[in-house]
Structure 1
């Protein structure tokens, strides 16, 4: 049975070595010394202990050199377990992964959206313990939580989640008290971007991830396996950018936000007002029904679809010009849109971005958003917590 464990002490040489190998890939003891500045004796002592614990493996011979060949050190991914948690509107999604962020177990649990934050976090802790108790892998050494809202720069406090009415909730402190392991928290869509940036070998500079469901979230993450960028740079409040002057009142208190044009609750309300409640079945993607009506020439559907595609394309063109990502992924209900809708959005974005960016621009649906949120949280736990 797995456990919750603090076995890897904060600030230890083990943490430095593991982090270095995650960033640089397999490396010799000499190379680790060059990167970290640690002495050969310190590295040798730490490596011996880590090999004995099963945290490192001595792998293939490193690059050719004069004299005795160097042995490459490789982290053993199965030697560490972390837990990724995603708090959505009314649903907690969580999973256990190894050090390569490969999901071993995935679980969901509902919660009352009117419940106080402390009650929801108590449920998160209960579900984490239940998941860990049923697991047979290595000890779980840390937890990261994705939240659909803003977090503080230290990734410990949920500053504001409009959909749930949460403000200044000490998520990390609450869960650390209950679980006894390090906890970090971040914006959920940024974690989705982080997961995809680590998985896609084609990405050179980074990924922008747009997620649309009850709200609109944007996350930006750098490519590769280097350290996770701390600070607010990977989080943007795109959904609360004004796109309609004197438009509909948004939940944030402003009018005409992008969210009021493209998010699912507003979109469904607009279709109902147009007399198309029949296309809003729970088991049918809303953009699929909208595309069908527009293709039939329904004037209201054509107008609504045009607004959605035009405003999403305009917002994403700004994102591409600002952050120059290699890849833009669209998740949530936009990932469920018909190919014709995605194609039109792609064309409009390409028209609006800087000429030098057009040739390499890619926009694709993200079909693994549920797993991506958990995998991204687990990756965050590995990359910014002290045991990584």
Structure 2
């Protein structure tokens, strides 16, 4: 049975060695010294302690050199466990992962969206404890939580989650008291983007991730977590950019926000107003595309508006951040290929000409898996690599 533990004593240079192995792959002790600036004696002492504690293994040969072959240092990815949590509207998803953010076990539970934040966080703590208790891996040393709302710069407080009615909730403090391990909090779409950079256990290029469901969220991430960004508090607020003067009242209190013309609740309301009654279980964009393909004037107008507004928003993102890849997730990932292709074409038309040749936009794989993998990567950054 695994445990929750923050008691493992760490050497002063452990994180530096681990970061080198993460970013450069298996290297020799000599190369660690060159990359960190640490003396040979300091590296030898640090590495010996890490080998003894099981964090690092020695085996194989690194880069060719004159004389005796250099022994490679390899991180022991199963030496620690971290937990990633995603709190979305009505559902808590949890996962345990290894030192490469590879998810090995998951859990999902519903919660009452009208419940007080403290009650929901108590449920999170109980589910984390249960998931860890059922696991046979290494001790869990840290936790990261993704939330659909803004967080403070220290990544400890949920400043505002509109759809849950949360404001200034001390998420990290609450969970640290309950679980006894370090906790960090971030915006869930940033964690989706970060998770996609770690798909398959290997680092990928910088990614912009646009997620559309009940709201609109944007995350920008690169393979090394220190480099990812999307606004000082983790939330870009792209969904609350005004795109329609005197438009529909948004849940944020403003009118005409991007969210009010592309998010699922507003599209359902607009389709209902046009006489198209669809069940809550029916995916919106596939049904909208079907109606548009049949020539329904209202559906054609709505689909045109959605593609145009999303393309305009994405063009702004590409021009500002120049990501290597744009992923569209949530209900947009469920849309027919023709809809995604149209959004891609319209976005390419709107971005700076020099960026068009390398521009890539694809539907995202499962956002649930990505956000949990991203949360695990962030937990590792805070609890293992720093």
User: Structure 2 vs 1, CA of residues 62 and 386 (structure 1 numbering), >3 Å: closer, same or farther?
Assistant: closer
Q: Does the Cα contact within 8 Å between 2:11 and 2:46 map onto a contact in 1?
A: no
Q: Does the Cα contact within 8 Å between 2:80 and 2:138 map onto a contact in 1?
A: yes
In the other structure, the counterpart of 2:329 is 331
CA shift, 1:72, in A, is: 1.5
Q: Does the Cα contact within 8 Å between 1:147 and 1:188 map onto a contact in 2?
A: yes
In the other structure, the counterpart of 2:305 is 307
Q: Does the Cα contact within 8 Å between 1:9 and 1:386 map onto a contact in 2?
A: no
The yes-or-no answer on 1:133 pairing with 2:123 is no
Distance in structure 2 (CA, Å) of the matches to 1:202 and 1:41: 31
CA shift, 1:203, in A, is: 4.8
Q: Does the Cα contact within 8 Å between 1:79 and 1:99 map onto a contact in 2?
A: yes
Distance in structure 1 (CA, Å) of the matches to 2:166 and 2:11: 32
Q: Does the Cα contact within 8 Å between 1:156 and 1:172 map onto a contact in 2?
A: yes
In the other structure, the counterpart of 2:104 is 104
Unaligned runs of 5+ in 2: none
In the other structure, the counterpart of 2:157 is 157
CA shift, 1:11, in A, is: 7.1
User: Structure 2 vs 1, CA of residues 341 and 359 (structure 1 numbering), >3 Å: closer, same or farther?
Assistant: same
CA shift, 1:31, in A, is: 1.6
In the other structure, the counterpart of 1:214 is 214
Distance in structure 2 (CA, Å) of the matches to 1:4 and 1:115: 26
Q: Does the Cα contact within 8 Å between 2:326 and 2:361 map onto a contact in 1?
A: yes
In the other structure, the counterpart of 2:289 is 291
Written as runs of structure 1 = structure 2, the 5 A alignment for 1:186-265 is 186-199=186-199, 203-204=204-205, 206-222=206-222, 224-225=223-224, 227-229=226-228, 232=231, 235-265=235-265
Query: Cα RMSD between the aligned structures?
Result: 1.8
Q: Secondary structure at the match of 2:64?
A: coil
In the other structure, the counterpart of 1:364 is 362
In the other structure, the counterpart of 2:79 is 79
Count of aligned pairs between the two proteins: 384
In the other structure, the counterpart of 2:184 is 184
TM-score, structure 1 as length reference: 0.95
CA shift, 1:16, in A, is: 2.6
In the other structure, the counterpart of 2:316 is 318
CA shift, 1:387, in A, is: 5.3
Listed one character per residue, the Cα deviations across residues 115-155 of structure 1 (whole Å, up to 9, x for unaligned) are 11111111000000000000001111100000111111111
Q: Does the Cα contact within 8 Å between 2:225 and 2:378 map onto a contact in 1?
A: no
Q: Does the Cα contact within 8 Å between 2:146 and 2:191 map onto a contact in 1?
A: yes
TM-score, structure 2 as length reference: 0.95
Q: Does the Cα contact within 8 Å between 2:196 and 2:204 map onto a contact in 1?
A: no
